[in-house]
């Protein structure tokens, strides 16, 4: 998906890290408009309680799948489609 999450975040959801690696430039999340500091609260209708749950749900998907990502930014809930791609490691 092209994000790094803050594993120390204690709220509900998965917080996209505010570090430089939070969003991979040109990656799926970047193309969909996600930003550092966004909190992912659901993926394809599955509620995300923490970063571990986000990883499990993403791993259950396939490269090329389009997933609906619901997230909060500045206390406003938004939704975008993200097309999953292979990691460029």
pTM of the model: 0.92
Going from the first residue of the chain to its last (89 residues), give the mean pLDDT of each consecutive group of 10, the final group possibly shorter.
Answer: 93 93 92 97 96 95 96 97 83
Are 87 and 63 within 8 A, CB to CB? no
Tell me the torsion sign for CA atoms 1, 19, 74, 11.
positive
Structural domains of the chain ordered from first start? 14-83 (2.30.42.10)
Q: Which spans in 1-89 are helix H? A: 28-32, 51-59
Question: What 3-state DSSP class applies to 57?
Answer: helix
Task: Specify the pLDDT at position 45.
Answer: 95
């Amino acid at each position: 998906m092209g994000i790094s999450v803050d594993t120390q975040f204690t709220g509900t959801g998965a917080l996209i890290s505010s570090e430089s690696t939070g969003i991979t430039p040109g990656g799926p999340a970047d193309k969909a408009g996600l930003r550092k500091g966004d909190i992912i609260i659901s993926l394809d209708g599955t509620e995300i309680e923490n970063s571990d749950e986000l990883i499990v749900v993403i791993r259950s998907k396939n490269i090329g799948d389009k997933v609906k990502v619901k997230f909060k930014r500045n206390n406003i809930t938004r939704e975008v489609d993200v097309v999953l791609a292979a990691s460029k490691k």
